[in-house]
Amino acid sequence: MQKSKANADELIALILQGIEEVKGQDINLLDLRDIENTVCDYFIICNGTSNTHVNAIVGSIRKIVSKSIQDKPWHVEGEDNAEWVLMDYVNVVVHVFQKHIREYYDIEGLWGDAKLTTIESSSSLNQ
């Protein structure tokens, strides 16, 4: 195991910081560790208000994670249309949606057995 690879808690904190920095909305953390045969341990789900905002969230996550722990996503999908961008950090998968796409796919509903934590963002506290 490489020293530069962070543990999941540190990675999650950095991803959340990246989302917060550009005011990503409706942030949820799904803990999948108690579910058999999952592809990762955690999902982080949030949404942006437009494709520009979705791309800004993705860019912010990338920058903060890379700068802090020199890690980058194993795979990123969906940046072209930026309606749903998936960032795969192996144990943590980030889903950045536009709101209508998130509602349509309802990832939280599909993974109803996961332990869900709603993250109170600082931007929502200031409204």
Residue spans per domain, the chain: 8-120
pLDDT at 34: 95
User: What is the average per-residue pLDDT within 50-62?
Assistant: 97
123 has a pLDDT exceeding 70:
no
Q: 6 pLDDT exceeds 90?
A: no
Task: Determine the pLDDT at residue 10.
Answer: 95
- Return the pLDDT at 4: 37
Banded pLDDT at 2 (limits 50, 70, 90): very low
**pLDDT value for 125:** 47
Q: What value does the mean pLDDT take over residues 32-54?
A: 96
Helix axis angle for 8-21 and 51-69, nearest 10°, is 140
What 8-state DSSP symbol labels residue 47? E
Pairing of strands 42-48, 75-77: unpaired
- Look up the CATH number of domain 8-120: 3.30.460.10
Report whether pLDDT(67) > 90: yes
pLDDT tens readout for residues 71-94: 999 999 999 999 999 999 999 999
Give the per-residue pLDDT at 122.
Answer: 65
Q: Identify the pLDDT of residue 121.
A: 72
Q: Cα(54)–Cα(19) distance, rounded to whole angstroms?
A: 10
